[in-house]
Structure 1
């Protein structure tokens, strides 16, 4: 009986992994197609379609998405740390209500948030900031709950005895924060910042309402391209984006231990 359950377990894992990886394998194969139509000829694959990614059509949207995602990750990281510190470390009055408010954007569909932001800016007469400023603000609203929650989780798991020991040795609050608290919660903060970067870089529902002509992010450029064509260049763009995101995750993991936060530990 145990053997049957074990086989079913591994079969289920295999099915899930196949469901996740096979579409990615198809996209990779399509990006190597030897002709302008999407074909699967592994004996005649080529990398020529990746050369098109260096054109302004794709390079400019990528650079804009990268700049926006970097700013969003930085702002969300700072605000998320401050919010988690006030709620968990300082235990300010009404902390549960404040945390609920910070997490509330997760309960609203992104399309609804996009429409609401556009209407709000129109009502208060700030239509002029539509574009990059509005995108950054909207993406911060979307990403902040992830950073706050992960930083708060790290602070909750933080061993308070370390802080009390440093205090008994004469360390000031600033010294304790700088040398004990922040290094201990670094995995949680960096994992939240990583999520913020990825969410901003790949965002479509919010961005589609806030971009301006000539000021287009990479995901919106992909959607616009798909309206008229489906060719290996499109597959190459998606493969390059996937490699870029995996590289970002790898770098953050090497810097601060991304996976330790997922396992509930600290590094």
Structure 2
């Protein structure tokens, strides 16, 4: 009986992995197509389409997406860490309500948030902020709940006796936070920052309302390109984007233990 259950488990796992991996394999194969049409001829595969990514058509939106994602991850990381510390560690009357408010953007569809931001800026006469400023603000609202949740989990798992020990040894509150709490919750902070970066870099539903001509992010550029063409260049853009995101994830994992937080603890 155990062998049957084990076999079923591995079969199900293989099916799930295939379901996730096969689309990626198809896109990668399409990016190596020898012709301008998407074809599957492995014996004629070429990487020439990747050289087209060095054009300003793709580099401009890519660097804009990276800059926005860096600012969003830094701002939402700082605000989310402070908010999680105040709500979870420095508990006060109504902290549950504040936590619910911080997580509330998750319950609102991104399209609704995008329309709301556009209408708000129009009503108060700040339409010129559409573009990079609005994208940064909108992405911060979108990413903040993920940062708060990740950091809150790390703080909840933090051993408060370490804080008391620091206090007994004469460390003030700022020193206890800097040298005891922050190193202990670093996996949670870096997890939240990583999520914020990925969410900002790949966002479409919110960004489509906030971009303006000359300030278009990479995902929106891809969507606009797909309206008129489906060719190996598009597949190469997507493969390069996936590779970039993987590099970001592995970099944060190297810095502070991204996977440790996903398993519910500190590294």
Please tell me the TM-score bracket, short chain as reference: over 0.9
Partner of 1:73: 73
Quote the residue 1:53 is aligned against. Answer: 53
The corresponding residue for 2:109 is: 109
Mind listing any 5+ residue stretches in structure 1 that lack a counterpart? none
Q: CA deviation at 1:265?
A: 1.4
Report the Cα offset of residue 5 of structure 1. 1.1
Alignment of 1:133-144 (within 5 A): 133-144=133-144
1:155-204: per-residue Cα shift (whole Å, max 9, x none)? 00001111111111111111111100000000000000000000000000
Q: Secondary structure at the match of 2:239?
A: helix
Deviation at 1:92, TM superposition (A): 2.5
Distance 1:93 1:86 in 2: 12
Give the equivalent residue in structure 2 for 1:180. Answer: 180
Q: Which residue of 1 aligns with 2:244?
A: 244
Q: Are residues 1:38 and 2:38 paired? A: yes
**Aligned equivalents of 2:204, 2:73: Cα separation in 1:** 17
* Match in the other structure for 1:264: 264
- Displacement of 1:40: 1.1
Gaps of 5+ in 2: none
Whole-angstrom CA distance in 2 between matches of 1:246 and 1:87: 32
Partners in 2 of 1:23 and 1:5 — Cα distance? Answer: 28
Question: 4+ runs of 1 displaced by more than 4 Å?
Answer: none
Q: TM-score, normalised by structure 1?
A: 0.99
Task: Indicate the SS of the match to 2:209.
Answer: helix
Aligned to 2:150: 150
Work out the number of aligned pairs and report it. 267
In the alignment, the residues of structure 2 paired with residue 139 and residue 14 of structure 1 have an alpha-carbon distance, to the nearest angstrom, of: 35
CA RMSD in angstroms comes to 0.6
Q: Give the TM-score of the pair, scaled to structure 2.
A: 0.99
Measure the CA separation in 1 of the matches of 2:79 and 2:240: 31
